[in-house]
Amino acid sequence: MTEPATSAARLTIFTVVVAAIVVTAGAYLYFARVESSTAATGQTRIADEAAQAQAIASVRRGAHVAFRNMAPGPAYGHLTFASLEPGATRHAASLSCNRIHFSDRVGLCLAIATAPAGFRGYLLEDGVRVVQTLELPGMPSRTRISRDGRFAAYTVFVAGDSYLASGLSTRTRIIKAPSGDDVADLESFAVIRDGKEIHSVDFNFWGVTFARDANRIYATLGTGGRILLVDGDVAERTMRVIAEDIECPSLSPDGRHIAFKKRFGSGFDAWWQPAVVDLATLTVRLLPEPKHIDDQIEWLDDANILYAVGHSTSAAQRRADVWKLAIDGSSPPTIFLADAESPAVVRP
């Protein structure tokens, strides 16, 4: 395994992460006005609304990726679509998002909104059509859509501004899609460990991932300084603790593995690297990626994962790329999308 970064380097990494999370609405407006440029993996196009919708609909008929565009220019921060072909043209929507996820039917965009200012979620159909707007109780952090498009989940920060903050407090909710009707707050679930129900006032949940049956979820539970992987039943409002030190889970399409962020160090010296756990044996494999990650991992397919890595230390010029990595550790990571984050792979 690659040697960990020095304390100074890790502090720089942490600064990048915090900058990513606490970007203000004013800075967000600045990003939308920066000078136009071309992304490294294909032209980014913005057309009039009708042409935009037509182009995105065409992309969405095949296998594609939705993501947050991070290339400087008029489409910075916008929901963007591209086919999975290398160098494919990017088609940017008019909607700005901070976190994104999609099924083939619906999507959810979490945004630091500016008109008026606030934190909002936008449930989408046809790729770009907003059908429901949600007022979020805090800063966007994570979101996932179930594969059948029936449920959506989101996590926001309501106190503290990162997963390292001593005052960390999150809210994680499951809602119906595309109506936005409330289904459950994860804090209402009974938590079972070793056959007994456990309780604590410091429970925090984040990073939901859905199984093929949308009633079954996995998520992170933070309590007492520990990070726990829980397996939940939405209808029964119950969760079972099944493992420790598995954070921000993402279930593979075949349901056999969970990709996650493995934490190293503590406090301001902490950093994360990607890892996978085999659900049949709970065997963990650390992957050959020394760079710090702070994204909920996405699956390209059963053998490869995608995740964002920041590459700027300036909040006013924050940039990131999406990297691809095989879960068998047989090859080094490669850039899948330059100037992008929050990828969501959709295979109709």
What would the two tokens of residue 157 be?
A: 């920060």
Q: What angle do CA 256, 257, 260 make, to 5 degrees?
A: 160
Per-residue pLDDT of the chain (348 residues; tens, 9 = 90+): 333 343 344 333 333 333 433 333 333 333 332 222 333 345 666 557 788 889 999 999 999 999 999 999 999 999 999 999 989 999 999 999 999 999 999 999 999 998 889 999 999 999 999 999 999 999 999 999 999 999 999 999 997 555 555 557 999 999 999 999 999 999 999 999 999 999 999 999 999 999 999 999 999 999 998 999 999 999 999 999 999 999 999 999 999 999 999 999 877 788 899 999 999 999 999 999 999 998 899 999 999 999 999 987 665 678 999 999 999 999 999 999 999 999 999 998
Instruction: Provide the whole-model pTM.
Output: 0.84
Domain ranges for the chain: 7-340
Partners of 307 in the beta sheet? 323
CB neighbours of 327 closer than 8 A, spacing ≥ 6? 257, 259, 276, 285, 287, 303, 304, 305
The per-residue DSSP string of 276-312 comes to: EEETTTTEEEE-S--S---S--EEEETTEEEEEEE--
CB atoms within 10 A of CB 137: 12
Q: How far apart (Å, rounded) are the C-alpha atoms in residues 79 and 96?
A: 6
Task: Say which DSSP state 39 is in.
Answer: B
- pLDDT reported for residue 321: 96
Cβ contact 127:116 at 8 Å: no
Sheet holding 90-96, edge to edge: 44-45, 90-96, 78-83, 64-69, 340-346
Q: How far apart (Å, rounded) are the C-alpha atoms in residues 55 and 41?
A: 18
- pLDDT reported for residue 52: 85
Helices (H), 46-189: 49-60
Q: Could you give the C-alpha distances from 320 to 35, 37, 77, 270, 341, in angstroms and in order?
A: 17, 15, 11, 20, 6
The CATH homologous superfamily for domain 7-340 is TolB, C-terminal domain (2.120.10.30)
